[in-house]
Structure 1
């Protein structure tokens, strides 16, 4: 493929990682040329969306040139050598700034080391294209910070892309590379994936090594986001490789599914639940209808689908609010003295609530989390997968932190994601439909601990039967000047 005009450049921007990697191996595409086109695309299209917060053209092109030399020598480092990837600005990249959306961090001090997932991607030869926007410390379900401003949804600039991996999701939707690093402590991969028509996987706790250790364990994990399930699986295969710095990493290697091109799900027991055993004061009939459509798609792939709801021993919101408040308290208190005043006001408000939590209440929350984890494990003795909503509504107004009618600190509207952070299980969002206004809808797939491969296979079965990932936002198809 010759990148001779803007139409070719638009087509290249939406090539899968697998296609790019194969073209690099066959030398029909150049990693340098691809990176250069994508950097130009970011500069042309990102302005009204604000997904990207850091570019280093020289560093990116140097990584691409090294990959090109390896392919010329028939010595690629991995199946993804030379493929571009964006990195959420909660993960450190050696030599690049780590702002975490915070005014309290030094803007001029580059990170000294790569975080484990970034180190694995670098070792595999991927090309770091940019860093993407996040709210401060990932503390919101939208992507807004005092450092970088507001990130908008490419499908409707008046709507949010969600958060906290909203920059990563918006970058994928716009064709800023086929792969993105995200992170998820309460839904931060799945929420923006659902809002922007991309795929996102929250791996189970310990699947992807992390460092430094996070006191919020097992809630927060790093995971892959992509426009295709297969690409995300290839990325997870790299990210999940061992790192001696993480004492909690799984000792069992990730097994890349062999049948993602045409997954057949015979024998899989799937529970389809419109509410996942939780309650939300919000619902959208179009979202509800789209989620239910996942059942017949999985049945067509051979799964045995049963409509049923899990039962929880306690409302998951009760312990989650404790862990969320204490986690925010730890973030704020991690800044010295006067720098705490620079922290996002919402984060400081939640941190103040965290300081009021008694030891007895925290201990009760720990026990409740254990009870929920045991109940989830029992449910997944009966079923291999649980299917339900990611969110009760499509993307809401970009100027808001939560839907209208709710306080910024109120999680009641959004009950379907954080439970799986507390239990440490893998969960994904895969595109399932659009509203009549053209807003994307994702369906959530949850698996038992260690079952990322099963989640990926089910997601691929849905994607194969409903290839909505091909429906890019209109602004992403504009020809570049």
Structure 2
């Protein structure tokens, strides 16, 4: 599939602006939230057909939000640092007045009545909801494709996947559909797409961003931001982490937006670097490994004390994760009326069969193993502030495949670097580190201790300052 760059790409003059640049323009009157929203809607219509990352646009809805923001800016009373800022929302999160299909044939196009808490926080902050982005059904894949919306492609190479399950969010950002996107991460679903599309994405620690109603994926799955810059993600995280009294797991300690992100000070940070993160790696790509290694001298140059050390796990993290993955799929099948189960994604149904074979003792054993893994990680982070290593073992692969060649669609053991941190509940992020010879982006993962989002952001910003790869646009844009 090829695309020729339009003579005049809609919104090209404003689509790469950061949150601060947009709101500075609103403040001075040089920019209007309404004009920005209109330009980005036109951009979506021009570019999305090539990548298929947008699943819902409601121009009247978006422009009504933008017009309300314009009134506030003209009165000098913006609601927050995100007032008037366009944001896309992954279609696993509820937006009042928009459908929530979750990439599933089970759900129709009727609008839902209530925002999910993180969406409500952005609405209260005056953000402008630009569109909803594609996801595989229930976020169940490492790629973004569904029976409802088809295959989503990577703007850096249209034959490749943008990753998943927040691949619609990452592809939208890579094309300039706003400065930030809301994603979610239950096994790597923010970090994987960020790594595959030259973006920054952070999975907050469990409990940092409130959620409601309770979900079967808790505590593995959390929502979080993707962005082109670290600072934009930090601003969004500050907004979406504000309290929700109905969430029983919400932390009572608010997120503190780092004041030094422009020029972060990481001198004295104790950082462990691990090329495998203590995991078994059946797939190895020397080019990706070499790029991840390049983060080490950048962190040293920024003042950090970096030591090579692998975390030691009491059990392979894949062992309990496989149980949680299979039983979650089984619960999805059992929670669906028998006559409607054929509508479920075949992957969910096939993995659900394995989940049905997990007995109570097997599930309890997996719970014990998860606790042992979390305890081992806590002990490791008594000696280190951060752990740095790979996000994915290989670059982006064919968009039509669920997994790389040689693996079955239900396999997760080929990409072991992300899901351990969902089981421990720790924050983790992906920051761009380079491109392969074929032009495919590669990310490096930064993991922090519980409550350590600010330290992750500082270290990521140090890498971003040394290597501002977010300025490199997809080839399809010319």
TM-score grouping bracket, smaller chain normalisation: over 0.9
Superposition deviation, residue 130 in structure 1 = 0.1
Query: Paired residue for 1:236?
Result: 237
Superposition deviation, residue 27 in structure 1 = 1.3
In the alignment, the residues of structure 1 paired with residue 143 and residue 217 of structure 2 have an alpha-carbon distance, to the nearest angstrom, of 20
Q: Provide the secondary structure at the position in 1 that maps to 2:382.
A: helix
Q: Provide the secondary structure at the position in 2 that maps to 1:12.
A: coil
In the alignment, the residues of structure 1 paired with residue 170 and residue 345 of structure 2 have an alpha-carbon distance, to the nearest angstrom, of 22
Query: Paired residue for 1:52?
Result: 54
In the alignment, the residues of structure 2 paired with residue 158 and residue 424 of structure 1 have an alpha-carbon distance, to the nearest angstrom, of 34
Q: Provide the secondary structure at the position in 1 that maps to 2:392.
A: coil
| 1:73 and 2:60 aligned | no
Q: How does 1:157-176 map to 2 (within 5 A)?
A: 157-176=158-177
For 1:71-125, what per-residue CA distance to the aligned partner results, in whole angstroms no more than 9, with x for missing partners?
00001000110000000000000010000000011x1321110000000000000
In the alignment, the residues of structure 1 paired with residue 422 and residue 37 of structure 2 have an alpha-carbon distance, to the nearest angstrom, of 35
- After TM superposition, the structure 1 stretch with the greater mean CA deviation from structure 2, 333-342 or 348-357, is 333-342
In the alignment, the residues of structure 2 paired with residue 92 and residue 338 of structure 1 have an alpha-carbon distance, to the nearest angstrom, of 26
Distance 1:8 1:22, change over 3 A: farther
Query: Paired residue for 1:438?
Result: 439
In the alignment, the residues of structure 2 paired with residue 11 and residue 455 of structure 1 have an alpha-carbon distance, to the nearest angstrom, of 31
Query: Paired residue for 1:30?
Result: 32
Q: Provide the secondary structure at the position in 1 that maps to 2:447.
A: strand
Residues 11 and 42 of structure 2 are in contact (CA less than 8 Å); yes or no, is this contact kept in structure 1?
no
In the alignment, the residues of structure 1 paired with residue 69 and residue 8 of structure 2 have an alpha-carbon distance, to the nearest angstrom, of 25
In the alignment, the residues of structure 2 paired with residue 324 and residue 162 of structure 1 have an alpha-carbon distance, to the nearest angstrom, of 18
Q: How does 1:215-230 map to 2 (within 5 A)?
A: 215-230=216-231
Residues 10 and 43 of structure 2 are in contact (CA less than 8 Å); yes or no, is this contact kept in structure 1?
no
Query: Paired residue for 1:377?
Result: 378
Query: Paired residue for 2:110?
Result: 109
- After TM superposition, the structure 1 stretch with the greater mean CA deviation from structure 2, 68-77 or 330-339, is 330-339
Residues 170 and 226 of structure 2 are in contact (CA less than 8 Å); yes or no, is this contact kept in structure 1?
yes
Q: How does 1:260-279 map to 2 (within 5 A)?
A: 260-279=261-280
Query: Paired residue for 1:13?
Result: 15
Q: How does 1:50-449 map to 2 (within 5 A)?
A: 50-105=52-107, 107-449=108-450
Query: Paired residue for 2:44?
Result: 42
When the two chains are superposed, the root-mean-square deviation of aligned CA atoms in Å is 1.0
Superposition deviation, residue 264 in structure 1 = 1.5
Residues 173 and 476 of structure 1 are in contact (CA less than 8 Å); yes or no, is this contact kept in structure 2?
no
In the alignment, the residues of structure 2 paired with residue 271 and residue 24 of structure 1 have an alpha-carbon distance, to the nearest angstrom, of 42
Over 6 Å off, 4+ runs: none
Superposition deviation, residue 18 in structure 1 = 1.5
Residues 90 and 182 of structure 2 are in contact (CA less than 8 Å); yes or no, is this contact kept in structure 1?
yes
Residues 10 and 46 of structure 2 are in contact (CA less than 8 Å); yes or no, is this contact kept in structure 1?
no
In the alignment, the residues of structure 1 paired with residue 109 and residue 139 of structure 2 have an alpha-carbon distance, to the nearest angstrom, of 21
Q: Provide the secondary structure at the position in 2 that maps to 1:13.
A: coil
In the alignment, the residues of structure 1 paired with residue 449 and residue 155 of structure 2 have an alpha-carbon distance, to the nearest angstrom, of 33
In the alignment, the residues of structure 1 paired with residue 10 and residue 369 of structure 2 have an alpha-carbon distance, to the nearest angstrom, of 54
Long gaps (5+) in structure 2: 1-6
For 1:404-449, what per-residue CA distance to the aligned partner results, in whole angstroms no more than 9, with x for missing partners?
0001111111000000000000000000000000000000000000
Residues 145 and 344 of structure 1 are in contact (CA less than 8 Å); yes or no, is this contact kept in structure 2?
yes
Residues 175 and 476 of structure 1 are in contact (CA less than 8 Å); yes or no, is this contact kept in structure 2?
no
Q: Provide the secondary structure at the position in 1 that maps to 2:381.
A: helix
Residues 225 and 237 of structure 2 are in contact (CA less than 8 Å); yes or no, is this contact kept in structure 1?
yes
User: How high is the TM-score relative to the length of structure 2?
Assistant: 0.98
Distance 1:272 1:241, change over 3 A: same
Residues 9 and 43 of structure 2 are in contact (CA less than 8 Å); yes or no, is this contact kept in structure 1?
no
Q: Provide the secondary structure at the position in 1 that maps to 2:11.
A: helix
Residues 10 and 40 of structure 2 are in contact (CA less than 8 Å); yes or no, is this contact kept in structure 1?
no
Superposition deviation, residue 352 in structure 1 = 1.3
In the alignment, the residues of structure 1 paired with residue 42 and residue 10 of structure 2 have an alpha-carbon distance, to the nearest angstrom, of 13
Superposition deviation, residue 456 in structure 1 = 0.6
For 1:232-260, what per-residue CA distance to the aligned partner results, in whole angstroms no more than 9, with x for missing partners?
00000000000112111111000000111
In the alignment, the residues of structure 1 paired with residue 26 and residue 277 of structure 2 have an alpha-carbon distance, to the nearest angstrom, of 43
In the alignment, the residues of structure 1 paired with residue 23 and residue 65 of structure 2 have an alpha-carbon distance, to the nearest angstrom, of 15
Long gaps (5+) in structure 1: none
Superposition deviation, residue 335 in structure 1 = 1.9
Superposition deviation, residue 337 in structure 1 = 2.5
Q: Provide the secondary structure at the position in 2 that maps to 1:48.
A: helix
Superposition deviation, residue 217 in structure 1 = 2.0
Residues 270 and 384 of structure 1 are in contact (CA less than 8 Å); yes or no, is this contact kept in structure 2?
yes
User: How high is the TM-score relative to the length of structure 1?
Assistant: 0.97
